[in-house]
Amino acid sequence: MEKKQLRNIKAEDLYNLKSVVDPQLAANGSDLVYTQTIASEEKNGYSSNIYYMNTEQGQEIQWTFGKARNHSPRWSPDGKRIAFVSDRDEKSQIYIMNKDGGEARQVTSCLHGASNPIWSPDGTKIAFNTSLKEGETVSDQPEKDKKEKPAPLEIDKMKHKSDAAGFWDGKYKYAAIVYVNTGEVELVTSGQHDYHVHCWSPDGEKLIVTADLAEDQDFSFQNDVFLLDVSSKELKNLTNGTGFFGNISYSPDGKYLGMTGHTREYENATLTKVWLYQLEEGSLTCLTEEWDTLVGDFAIGDFQQGAVNPGILWGEDSRSFYFITTDHGSTAVYYGSVDGEMYPALHERQHVYGLTTGGSLNKAVVAISKPSEPGDLYHLTITTGELKRLTSVNAEFLQEVILADAEPLQFKSSDQWDIHGWLMKPAGYQEGDKLPLVVEIHGGPHAMYANSYFHEFQCLTAEGNAVLFINPRGSHGYGQKFVDAVRGDYGGKDYEDIMEAVDHVLANYEFIDENRLGVTGGSYGGFMTNWIVGHTNRFKAAVTQRSISNWISFYGVSDIGYYFTDWQIQADLNDIEKLWKHSPLAYVNNIETPLLILHGEKDYRCPIEQAEQLFIALKHRKKETKFVRFPEANHELSRSGKPNLRIDRLNYITGWFNDHL
Which among 465, 497, 521 has a CA at the least distance from the CA of 300? Answer: 521
> What pLDDT score was predicted for residue 145?
63
What number is the average pLDDT over the span 109-116? Answer: 96
Count of helix runs (H) and strand runs (E) in the chain: 11, 41
Give SS3 for 188. coil
User: Strand 595-600 and strand 386-389: pairing?
Assistant: unpaired
- pLDDT of 142: 77
pLDDT-derived band at 149, boundaries 50, 70, 90: confident
Among 501, 450, 161, 68, smallest CA distance to 519 is for 501
Of 273, 330, 271, the closest CA to residue 299 belongs to 330
Decide if 139 is catalytic.
no
Tell me: pLDDT of 316 over 50.
yes
Residue 58 pLDDT > 90: no
Of 635, 422, 440, 420, residue with least CA distance to 521: 440
- pLDDT value for 1: 46
Domains of the chain and CATH, by start: 402-660 (3.40.50.1820)
Residue-wise pLDDT for 509-545, tens only, equals 999 999 999 999 999 999 999 999 999 999 999 999 9
The SS3 of residue 241 is coil
Could you report the per-residue pLDDT of 537-572, keeping only the tens digit for each? Answer: 999 999 999 999 999 999 999 999 999 999 999 999
Q: Which long-range contacts (CB under 8 A, 24 or more apart) does 332-337 make?
A: 333/364, 333/366, 333/380, 335/382, 336/274, 336/287, 336/288, 336/312
C-alpha to C-alpha distance for 649 and 643, rounded to whole angstroms: 10
Query: Which positions ≥6 away from 329 have C-beta within 8 Å?
Result: 349, 408, 420, 421, 422, 448, 449, 450, 451, 471, 477
Section 133-143 average pLDDT: 86
Q: Determine the distance from the C-alpha atom of residue 51 to the mean position of all C-alpha atoms in its chain, rounded to a whole number.
A: 22
Res 304: pLDDT:
94
Banded model confidence at residue 147, pLDDT cuts 50, 70, 90: confident
Identity of the residue numbered 392? S
User: Which residue from 448, 303, 445, 462 is spatially nearest to 369, judged by alpha carbons?
Assistant: 303
Distance CA 393, CA 64 (A): 16
Pairwise CA distance, residues 122 & 545, whole Å? 49
| 72 is a catalytic site residue | no
d(CA 127, CA 209): 11
Catalytic residue among 523, 558, 583, 638: 523
Would you state the pLDDT for residue 3? 58
Mean pLDDT of 367-387: 95
CA-to-CA distance for 467 and 228, rounded, in angstroms? Answer: 51
pLDDT digits (tens, 9 = 90+) for 237-264: 999 999 999 999 999 999 999 999 999 9
Q: Which amino acid is at 155?
A: I
pLDDT of amino acid 356? 98
Flag whether pLDDT at 2 surpasses 70. no
DSSP β-bridge partners for residue 356? 365
> Which residue of the set 71, 635, 640, 660 is catalytic?
635
* pTM value > 0.75: yes
Reported confidence tier of residue 90, pLDDT bands at 50, 70, 90 = confident
Give Cα separations from 488 to 140, 547, 552, 569, 571 (angstroms).
49, 18, 15, 4, 8
* Predicted pLDDT at 617: 98
To the nearest whole percent, how much of the chain has pLDDT over 70?
Answer: 99
Q: First and final CA of the chain: distance in angstroms?
A: 39
Helices (DSSP H) in 443-523: which residue ranges?
455-462, 480-484, 493-508
Chain CA centroid to CA 268, Å: 15
